[in-house]
Amino acid sequence: MQELANIFIKSIFIDNMVFAYFLGMCSYLAVSKTVKTSVGMGFAVVFVLGITIPINYLLENYVLKEGALVWLSEEFTTVDLSFLSFIMFIAVIASMVQLVEMVLEKFSPALYSSLGIFLPLIAVNCAILGGSLFMQERAYTTIIEATVFGLGSGVGWFLAIVGIAAIREKIRYSNVPPALRGLGITFIITGLMGIAFMSFMGIKL
Amino acid sequence: MSKSNLLSKRTKQLLSDPLNDNNPITVQVLGICSALAITVQLKPAIVMALSVMVVLSVANVIISLMRKVIPSRIRIIVQLVVVATLVIIVDQVLRAFVYDVSKELSVFVGLIITNCIIMGRLEAFGMANGPWDSFMDGLGNSFGYAWILIAVAFFRELLGSGTLFGYPVLESLGVYELGYENNGMMILPPMALITVGVIIWIQRIKNIKLVESK
């Protein structure tokens, strides 16, 4: 239990997707103009990460890894399909996003109308594929750990985008140098937020 | 297209626009993730820029050749499959020939798949133009991407660790004896953001028409 809490906290604050690895920066910059849309986008990312990482975990451990196919037949102990992982992961992500979109549209129109426009964007959000690739690289031992890591990364991304959106809403009233307006100042503020988040790095979990 | 206008005014513009007026990173805001993460040193930055160049120009040509037969509903998946296949090839080549750099780039080679420059250009250009123009567009945009990457990596490596391509430039110039010390901040992730922010700032001071309205 404690182990899981550690992974959760670590993936939110210490290994924050945005501030430590710059993942999902494109949508982070594009959708963070108002707090409302960024909350929608943030939820969609948490949701999709929470679904795709366990699926990709199963795929990695029962199909792709060296010797993972041993449950099919003893002959497959030396088969290593890990070079296919990019294409498999992205296929899972793209189809899950499509599936989630359809399920939401059918069963929860309210949620669909708030998340709907963000879902197609998410298929190409590097935070999602990055999450799966980090899961593969760090080799979590159980599916629960992987899921917790996915949710934690999602929450970290959510915090980052809502934070920057709130700052961007306020900064509209300030006197920013013209050439820095918009994109430039957002980069610099994100850098400053990243420095703030670095203070978590010293925490040993 | 006949041979005589292979390098017409339009194609030249396709090559030169992304370097400044329509730069993929500082103007179109595409492909930021990788631009920031792998710019601690020059070598991985250049390898990354070359990989993106190969993937982007080849994918743009393939998509442009297939543009009339791709149903628009599933175009994203088709594009992803084409890009993912190319990235797997690039990844295997990197592992075979420059293993240490490939290790350093870790997940970011895989993340070329979701590099928004690639998807963005495929959507905006490859789907609507012929193969030769698409190839030029791919090349132009990857040059635009490459110069930002190399500029950021140059400053981060020089100021952060005092080296260029691993060669101790500052030490051989004798700067340390004057009391200079490396700025350790430059190696850390947040400074990449600030460096790009400053590049955008300088670019927009020079190029007034890029300044955003309030």
The predicted-structure confidence for B78-127, as pLDDT tens digits, reads as follows 888 888 889 889 888 888 888 888 887 777 787 788 777 888 888 888 88
Q: Is the CB of B196 less than 8 angstroms away from the CB of A187? A: yes
Global pTM value: 0.82
Q: Which residues of B173-204 are buried (b: 16+ CB within 10 A; e: fewer)?
A: eeeeeeeeebeeebbbbbbbbbbbbbbbbebb
Cβ-nearest to B204 among A89, A91, A184 = A184
- Chain A residues closer than 8 Å to B113 by CB: 86, 90, 129
Which B residues in the span 82-101 are in contact with A, Cβ-Cβ below 8 Å? 84-85, 87-88, 91-92
B36 contact A CB<8A: yes
pLDDT reading at B46 higher than 60: yes
Closest CA relative to residue B191, chosen from B152, B148, B135:
B152
ipTM: 0.78
User: For each of chain A's 205 residues, which pLDDT tens digit applies?
Assistant: 888 888 888 888 888 888 888 888 878 887 788 888 888 888 888 888 898 999 999 888 888 877 777 777 777 777 777 778 888 888 888 888 878 778 778 887 777 776 666 676 677 777 888 888 888 888 888 889 999 999 999 999 999 999 999 998 888 888 888 888 878 888 889 889 888 888 887 777 6
Q: Is the CB of A179 less than 8 angstroms away from the CB of B205? A: yes
For residue A204, what are the contacts with CB-CB under 8 A and spacing of at least 6?
none
Mutate to test the interface with A, among B72, B95, B200 (most CBs of A within 10 A): B200
Mutate to test the interface with B, among A29, A183, A185 (most CBs of B within 10 A): A183
Predicted pLDDT of residue B148 = 87
Measured in degrees and rounded to the nearest 5, phi and psi for residue A76 equal: -90, 15
Chain A residue nearest residue B117, CA to CA: A26
